[in-house]
Structure 1
Amino acid sequence: MSLRVRVTWLAASCVAGAVALVSLGAYLTVRQNLYDQIDTSLAQKAETTVRSDAVAETASGTRFPAAFLSLTDVQFAVVDDDGDLLLSVPRHIPPIGPRELAVATGEVPNSLRTDGKTDSRVYAVPYHGNALVLAQSLQPTKAQLADLALVLFLIGGAGVVVAAAAGTAVARTGLRPVQRLTRATERVTHTGDLRPIQVDGDDELARLSHSFNQMLAAVAYAQDRQRKLVADAGHELRTPLTSLRTNLELLLAAEAPNAPTLSDEDKKEIHADVHAQLDELTQLIGDLVELAREDAPHIDPQQVDMVEVIEQALARARRRAGHVNFEVDLHPWYLLGEPVALERAVLNLLDNAVKFSPPDGIIRVDLRPDGDGFAFLQVADAGPGINDADLPYVFDRFYRSDEARTLPGSGLGLAIVKSAAERHGGSVYAGRSADGGALMAIRLPGRPEASTSLS
């Protein structure tokens, strides 16, 4: 059963239940009131008759209480304690039973009952040592109740039909965004089309549609990033692979029969070039793997001493820095994170500074709080610096400035720095140092003292 049908049935069932309860309550109330009116009318007529002393006389000279003339709309009779009729109207004699005789004998003060055989209401009161019995048929009252039940049934049925129609209309209108979502998900499943769907209104379903559009946008953005990563990786791999293939083909051709031989110096140069290209491929593949790992969800953070992380990265950078000098100024700073990822990010900043620093140049490494729950790690070199046009893109994947294209590298090192910083709730900045070189900075949250309650 579809959701629209369930909503229709729910609306119809709720209205049917409410109508049934109201109709039943109205019917029982009217029924009780009508029966009470009959009982009250019988009691008032009996009391009036008993209290009346007026006497009427027939044409034949028979005398009888004048109050009986007002009982033409009910059956009445006067009976003694033996059940004999003392006064009655032929064909309008009320039913007489043991309870009426008990009133005549004085055993009970009055009697009120419903006679099932004649379907009438019977009321008896004492009357001059006998019993006055009045009876009124219930057929007119039951006819009225039957008419009332029919009216309530028809009105209730009409209400249920209207409620079902209204429920169908509301379900059709309210579930239209859900139908659009269903069609959109089916379209994405079968075609991969990530176009957003139309959003109308500002209710919960509209917010659901808006969230679905945001999800589509996020998936489209991830796909674009994936395509760009594959395209950029292919572009970066093409150059070293082409050069490596050319050198290998040259070496193989030199070993063929009757082919010109290469000098030892040329072979040595080709071997060195092949090693350099293999190193470049290894670095590029390693950076791609590291970047993929950086994009993975972060789990199980631990307290990290940034001073220790930076010192470990400095120890690795110094081993391959040559004649570059480091000036270090570190202040205590702790945060929750992943030490390996942070050390890789710091090492990439140091390697980038080493690559562009002149011989005997100075690289300044500075870590200090900025007073608002964050600390800045700055790495400044004395190299040629970064052009203003390149500053917004230096942390993008595979981006390399014109000056950097002639140097070894994959264009992924600073992208790994940005990914690690953002995973730890921080950000990255690039600018120009006081010595005219590049200034790279990471802004990280934390506090200056160790604490197990870091968050």
Structure 2
Amino acid sequence: MTTLTRWAEERRQRFSLRTRVAVLAAVCVAGAVALVSIGAYVTVRQSLYQQVDDNLAVRAENVLRNPDIAATSDRSFPAALLSLTDVEFAVINGAGDNLIDLGQREPPVGVDEVRVARGLMRDHIRTDSPTDRRVYAVRYGNGALVIAQPLGPTRDLLENLAVVLVVIGAAGIVLAALAGTAVARGSLRPVLRLTRATERVARTGDLRPIPVSGDDELARLTQSFNTMLGAVAEAQEHQRRLVADAGHELRTPLTSLRTNLELLLAAEAPNAPSLSEQDKAEIHRDLRAQLDELTTLIGDLVELAREDAEQTTWEPVELNEVVEQALDRARRRAGDVHFDVQVRPWRLIGDGPALERAVLNLLDNAIKFSPPGGTVRVRLGATGDGFAVLEVADQGPGIADEDLPRVFDRFYRSQEARTLPGSGLGLAIVKQAAVRHGGQVLAGRAPDGGALFTMWLPGSPE
């Protein structure tokens, strides 16, 4: 990039949008004025010169048509020549000599006029640059009649016209620049408010919406920006709740861990009462349980954060195989809970590990609430509208009416679930995985009274 180009780019970036709009308006008007002025000047110029030519031709034609002869004491001459006393004229022969001398101003005679006098041309008109005259020659008798008219008055008129056009054009450009500035200032006022709001958000984090007036493109832009601010505010609130809930959930196992560790350390201090082997075994079991709970909670948080991140590469996934793999993992920790499984082939494009985690969470939830010896029913099949439906039902106590709307909220746990292990994030992970894959998941009651979770996912049977 050359120095001149860089300078031009820096100047362009330094100009505000309002300045660029005003300059653009002035440039457009300047171009239009220049075209109109040039067109008007050329048209008037041609018209004035044509009038001069027509006047010379008419004057010469009048002389040719008038056969009257005027005479003085010593000579005679065509009477029509007396009408040419306000212009320069001459009657010349083939040698270019003037045949009639009435004391008039004689026009410039050149080669073209001589050729007309010799009969080589009927007439001829030209501009004599040295004398700045328009010269017209026409065949007259055995010679030629030559008439000339100075072009000074015509040129003065054209110069005055050029000055007027320049003045009017400059005034129009100035008015256009002022009008462009006024229009830009008024039209870009919403943009200025939007800019100030953006700077305010960046400086203070204040996400209050911007007042909207009108229904034009800038108003819609402001509405879109307000929508974005609302989404950012919602995301911030969502993040704040997530951090607060995660801190609350982490506090309980960490407090228990701290208490048990302090108890073990205090028992090992000199002169401190020792703990029985049974008490130590119970504390060790509590520590392992609390570590498992903490590990599960942190793993769910990491999984939830991974689900929130943008997925860049998806692959073909056999959903029936994903369900079978999740079942293999669930059976190893199901105890005496049985599974009634009917799975049909289904393929979709997605994230296999995320779907397996979602299905495993549904199975673990069903195992957790199933009674000893209970059965978890698992069904996977097509619905006929481009979606597959996965149903997981248990024989537990079911979901209370007041808990149904919130079972998929992060960290939400019903009264019955608070006494059971879990982080309150499993079903939130299920919902997020379903939504990311273009599906949905609903909670309800199974026919035999337990909980029923139904997840729809798009795809095809082959």
TM-score, normalised to structure 1's length?
0.94
The correspondence of residues 32-431 of structure 1 with structure 2, limited to 5 A, is: 32-58=46-72, 60=73, 62-431=75-444
Quick check: 2:391–2:455 contact (8 Å CA) kept in 1?
A: yes
Quick check: 2:369–2:397 contact (8 Å CA) kept in 1?
A: yes
Quick check: 1:76–1:88 contact (8 Å CA) kept in 2?
A: no
**Segments ≥4 residues shifted beyond 6 Å:** none
**For residues 256 and 85 of structure 1, what CA distance do their matches in structure 2 show?**
145
CA shift, 1:267, in A, is 1.7
* Structure 2 equivalent of residue 8 of structure 1: 22
Which range moves more in the overlay, 252-261 or 429-438? 252-261
Q: Which amino acid aligns with 1:35?
A: Y
Quick check: 1:349–1:379 contact (8 Å CA) kept in 2?
A: yes
**For residues 195 and 424 of structure 1, what CA distance do their matches in structure 2 show?**
33
Q: Deviations over 1:61-91 (max 9, x none)?
A: 7543221232233222223334443323325
**For residues 116 and 279 of structure 2, what CA distance do their matches in structure 1 show?**
143
Give the number of aligned pairs. Answer: 448
* Structure 1 equivalent of residue 42 of structure 2: 28
Quick check: 1:377–1:441 contact (8 Å CA) kept in 2?
A: yes
CA shift, 1:257, in A, is 2.2
CA shift, 1:270, in A, is 1.5
Q: Which amino acid aligns with 2:287?
A: V
Local SS of the residue matching 2:262:
helix
* Structure 2 equivalent of residue 452 of structure 1: none
Q: Deviations over 1:398-443 (max 9, x none)?
A: 0001111111111011111111111111111001111111111111
* Structure 1 equivalent of residue 3 of structure 2: none
List gaps (5 residues or longer) in structure 1.
450-455
Q: Which amino acid aligns with 1:160?
A: I
Q: Deviations over 1:123-179 (max 9, x none)?
A: 122322232211111122112212221221222112111211121122222322332
**Residue from 434, 445, 448 that aligns with 2:458:** 445
**For residues 93 and 124 of structure 1, what CA distance do their matches in structure 2 show?**
13
List gaps (5 residues or longer) in structure 2.
1-14
Percent sequence identity over aligned pairs: 68
**For residues 212 and 144 of structure 2, what CA distance do their matches in structure 1 show?**
83
**For residues 147 and 435 of structure 1, what CA distance do their matches in structure 2 show?**
103
Quick check: 1:76–1:89 contact (8 Å CA) kept in 2?
A: no
**For residues 125 and 349 of structure 2, what CA distance do their matches in structure 1 show?**
90
**For residues 185 and 84 of structure 2, what CA distance do their matches in structure 1 show?**
64
Quick check: 2:85–2:104 contact (8 Å CA) kept in 1?
A: no
RMSD after superposition: 1.8
Q: Which amino acid aligns with 1:444?
A: L
TM-score, normalised to structure 2's length?
0.92
Local SS of the residue matching 1:401:
coil
